[in-house]
Amino acid sequence: MIKRYSTPEMTDVWSDHNKYQKWLDVELAVCEAWAIEGVIPKKSFRNIKKRASFNVKKIEKIEKITKHDVIAFTTNVAEYVGPDSRYIHLGLTSSDVLDTAFSLQLKESGLLIKKELLILINTLKKLSKKYIKTPIMGRSHGIHAEVTTFGLVVANWLDEMIRAKQRLERSISQCSVGKLSGAVGTYSNISKSIETKACKILKLKAADISSQIINRDYYADFFISLGFIATCIERISIQIRHLQRTEVQEVEEGFTKGQKGSSAMPHKRNPILSENLSGIARFVRSNISPAFENIPLWHERDISHSSVERIIAPDSSIAVHFMIRRANSMMSNLKVYKENMIKNIYKTNGIIFSQNILIKLIEKGLTRENSYKIVQDNAHAAWDSGKNFKDLLLIDDRVTKLLKKVEIDSAFNFDNLFIKAKQILNRVLKK
């Protein structure tokens, strides 16, 4: 991932140093399991644990000769350990180390993402509560529909983000799996008990069955969860982009001191954060497809998946970590223009209260068809003429013979909306 969209914590997870450290963690866990079962002398294991180390540059130098990364790694570790290094990698094949370590990296990555996600969720909770009684125009097809509240708009994002977190948690659990069953997964030179003990040390589940590799459906699930997170953030971003349009101007991204919006037009304050997040979301989703294509490999394994994972695992993890952090900053500094929200609500002369009148007429005994026609006649007249919808209703005999003025007036307030909004928000906050 390019530096521009990287976070230091997640970059560290996918660094060469951390990768090799995870490889070493796997090798040491297997050695410990062998020592518990008495195959490796305890003295030898203590020496291995004490002395085992590696040098990234040295590994790279050895790999240029061996053309094999794991052999280069074990060769370098042996230089630190000495004669007891003969016990390292005992009964293993390369994929045992690579895949189990990869699971550890995905787990570490997922937990970092979850930490940031919880911060964003908390920000959305605060916003939804703060604006639960702030009316805003609800839109369908981009057209004014009925009034909602900005708190409910945010609560909808919040509810989706909570589900995204739950998917992430399930995917972390899914991919926290280790495989230490040797070449083609038959335990020919290692036992299930060693695998179980080593995975327990690593805080992973041992796979019930594997080929030479861990089945890639475990990992595809993780990339799907990242895609959901990215898409949830994009949903928020798209709506902010719309609401910041000059013609709407109901919310606006924060604009810091010294910030410039355009090289040509000094007046511009553009929704660059949300636009940026929309773009990165496309990239994250695009990595789901190759994660699926990694599942059907030749026979017990080939290595076509490994080159893909070297790209999509760090890039998707880093991108999503960055997205969540940026989204939280954007929402924390969001400007909300309540006055413009109210102004836009009444921009259509009150016709957005049409359903309230429709229901009141139906309750008086009119058929739905007749009620609909009466309300539509007045709503279209108000829209076409620029006259007030309520005023037209008050001079329409078809309406006034059934509804008193106080009944008509009651259809044009937000009292019921605020009650219902609070109830809806409480359901979301309980999750």
- Give this prediction's pTM: 0.93
Sequence length of the chain is 431
Residues 184-230 have pLDDT tens digits of 999 999 999 999 999 999 999 999 999 999 999 999 999 999 999 99
Domain ranges within the chain, ordered by starting residue: 11-340, 351-411
Q: Are 237 and 245 in contact (CB under 8 A)?
A: no
Q: Which tokens go with 410?
A: 């009651």
Homologous superfamily, domain 351-411: Fumarase/aspartase (C-terminal domain) (1.10.40.30)
pLDDT given for residue 303 in this prediction: 87
The model's pLDDT over 15-47, given as tens digits with 9 standing for 90+, comes to 999 999 999 999 999 999 999 999 999 999 999
CATH of domain 11-340: 1.20.200.10
Show Cβ contacts of residue 346 under 8 Å, excluding neighbours closer than 6 positions.
none
CA atoms of 428 and 431, how far apart (whole Å):
6
How much is the pLDDT for 361? Answer: 96
Specify which residues 251 forms β-bridges with.
336
361-373 burial: b if 16+ Cβ within 10 Å, else e: beeeebeeeebbe
Q: What is the pLDDT at residue 79? A: 97
The alpha-helical segments, DSSP class H, found in 67-149 are: 69-81, 94-130
CA within 13 Å, CB half, 392:
21
Active-site residues, by number, are 141, 262
Report pLDDT for 179: 97
Are 408 and 394 in contact by the 8 Å Cβ rule? The answer is yes
**Contact of 238 with 274, CB cutoff 8 Å:** yes
The SS3 call for residue 135 is strand
**In whole angstroms, how far apart are CA 130 and each of 153, 266, 334?**
12, 33, 13
Topology alike, domains 11-340 and 351-411: no
Please report the pLDDT score of residue 393 as a whole number: 96
- Tokens found for residue 357: 């009148």
Cα separations (Å) of 45 from 55, 71, 260?
21, 20, 61
Give per-residue pLDDT as tens, 56-92. Answer: 999 999 999 999 999 999 999 999 999 999 999 999 9
- Residues of the chain whose pLDDT is less than 50? none
